[in-house]
Structure 1
Amino acid sequence: MKKMLMISAVLMTTLLLGSCGKENDMDQIPYVYVNFVIYPNTIDFIPVGSYVYSSGGYKGLIIYRQLSDDFRVYERACPHDPLVENARVYVETSGIIATDSVCGSRFLLTDGSPIEGPATIGLKQYRTRYDGFSLQVMN
């Protein structure tokens, strides 16, 4: 029985560690400090159901206003190919889907989830704090 438990433990460890290969590490989006404030009702106007591009992050940001008090901020680097120099995520004319310019992965702006293409994880999302007047974006 002890031998069976030991074999099971070794097998589980091998499976868990084996899934964390260098290939996944290479595709990670580099960390860039983000902490700024915008004013989505006045100076930096963003209508409900719309978006703006902003500087910051690794390759820029998409600030999407889902509801009057609900904002989503996404990194413009695609999680599938973040290190490709000219690859950026752009919002389609629909205003609700974003597409990577190189791999063609498509993402819903409501939650950042992938809906098409080789990307298997969603867009990197930044934290927000909204007080009805100013929107703070941070990581």
Structure 2
Amino acid sequence: MRQLTLILLVAISCFSCGKATDNVPSIPVNYQAALGTPALSPLNVAGGTVVINGYGVAGLIIYRKINGTYAAYDRCSSYQPEKKCACTPDGTGFTVTDPCSGSKFSLEDGTPVKAPATKALRSYRVSVTQFEIQVTN
């Protein structure tokens, strides 16, 4: 019985290990800007999306959720992140698309809504004061 348990534990541990490259790399992010800047004006309304280049792996997507809170994601697709494909906002205002694979992700929570992606976009913390927005990890 102990041998069977040991064999099962070894088999489970071997098959449960994933590749380290399956995830979007964690790169320090510290973006902040005044909410009144013209570049951030789309965030004045629910469903507004802004793309910020130069941060994270492939840039940032900042989204104002329907409930008025904000979400921020790395633009790097979670599907084959080693390709560093930068997701782009769709015309709908609710999803972004990976141009390399065709995967789509929800801007409300970053989860994939169209295959082949199975993992959510890397998300970041968003802090908002009366005059400024800050995105960090």
- The Cα shift of 1:25 comes to 1.6
- The Cα shift of 1:131 comes to 2.2
- Tell me which residue corresponds to 2:78: 79
After superposition, give the CA deviation of every residue in 1:30-63 in whole Å (9 maximum; x if it has no partner): 22110121223x1132222111001200100100
- The Cα shift of 1:13 comes to 4.6
Trace 1:57-96 onto structure 2 (pairs within 5 A): 57-67=56-66, 69-85=68-84, 87-96=85-94
The 3 A distance-change label for structure 1 pair 69 and 9 is farther
Amino acid at match of 1:8: T
Looking at structure 1, the residues matched to 130 and 66 of structure 2 have their Cα atoms a distance apart, in angstroms, of 12
1:33 aligns with 2:28: yes
- Report the TM-score, using the length of structure 1 for normalisation: 0.84
Trace 1:1-139 onto structure 2 (pairs within 5 A): 3-4=1-2, 7-8=4-5, 10-21=7-18, 24-40=19-35, 42-43=36-37, 44-45=40-41, 46-48=43-45, 49-55=47-53, 56-67=55-66, 69-85=68-84, 87-139=85-137
Q: Unaligned regions of 5+ residues in structure 2, if any?
A: none
- The Cα shift of 1:10 comes to 4.4
Amino acid at match of 2:12: L
The percent identity for this pair of structures is: 31
After superposition, give the CA deviation of every residue in 1:2-48 in whole Å (9 maximum; x if it has no partner): x34x6335413531442213xx32232222110121223x1132222
After superposition, give the CA deviation of every residue in 1:68-117 in whole Å (9 maximum; x if it has no partner): 741100111111121115x2101100011111000111111011111111
The 3 A distance-change label for structure 1 pair 11 and 129 is same
- Give the CA RMSD over aligned residues: 1.9
Whether the 8 Å contact between 1:60 and 1:77 is mirrored in structure 2 is: yes
Whether the 8 Å contact between 1:69 and 1:130 is mirrored in structure 2 is: no
Q: Which portions of structure 1, spanning 4 or more consecutive aligned residues, are displaced by more than 6 angstroms?
A: none
Whether the 8 Å contact between 2:105 and 2:111 is mirrored in structure 1 is: yes
Corresponding pairs, count = 132
- The Cα shift of 1:120 comes to 0.5
